Amino acid sequence: MLPTSTHLFHRLSQVSRDIAMHGYWEMENMSVLLLLLERARWQRREWRHPESPSRPPRRDELVMLDVGGNLGAYTLCLATAGFRVLTFEAMRRNIQAIREGICRNSGLKERVILLEKGLAEKEETCTLVVDKENIGDGITRCQGQGVSLGSEEVREDAIQVTTLDRALYCPQSSRDAVPSFYTGRPAALKMDVEGFEMLVVQGGQGFLNTSDLAVVLHENGHMPFEKRKYLLEYFVDRGYVFLCPEEMYEWVDGRGGKRGRKRKVPKIEAFAEFDERIFDCWDIAWVKKEDVEVEAPRGGRGQRYWLLLD
CATH number at residue 229: 3.40.50.150
- Across 142-162, average pLDDT: 64
Predicted structure pTM score: 0.85
Q: Which domain holds residue 28?
A: 14-118+165-308
Within a domain: 36: yes
Other beta carbons less than 10 A from residue 265's beta carbon = 12
Instruction: Give CA–CA dist 75/64, Å, rounded.
Output: 8
pLDDT at 60: 94
Tens digit of each residue's pLDDT (9 = 90 or more) over 158-204:
888 999 999 988 655 555 556 556 678 999 999 998 888 999 999 99
Look at phi and psi of residue 279 and say left if phi exceeds 0, alpha if psi is from -120 to 50, else beta. Answer: alpha
pLDDT at 128: 81
Within a domain: 158: no
Tens digit of each residue's pLDDT (9 = 90 or more) over 273-310:
877 777 788 899 999 988 888 777 665 566 788 888 76
pLDDT at 224: 87
What value does the mean pLDDT of the chain take?
Answer: 81
pLDDT at 89: 93
* Total of domains in the chain: 1
Instruction: Give CA–CA dist 170/79, Å, rounded.
Output: 25
Within a domain: 130: no
DSSP state of 49: B
Within a domain: 5: no
Within a domain: 6: no
Within a domain: 96: yes
Within a domain: 247: yes
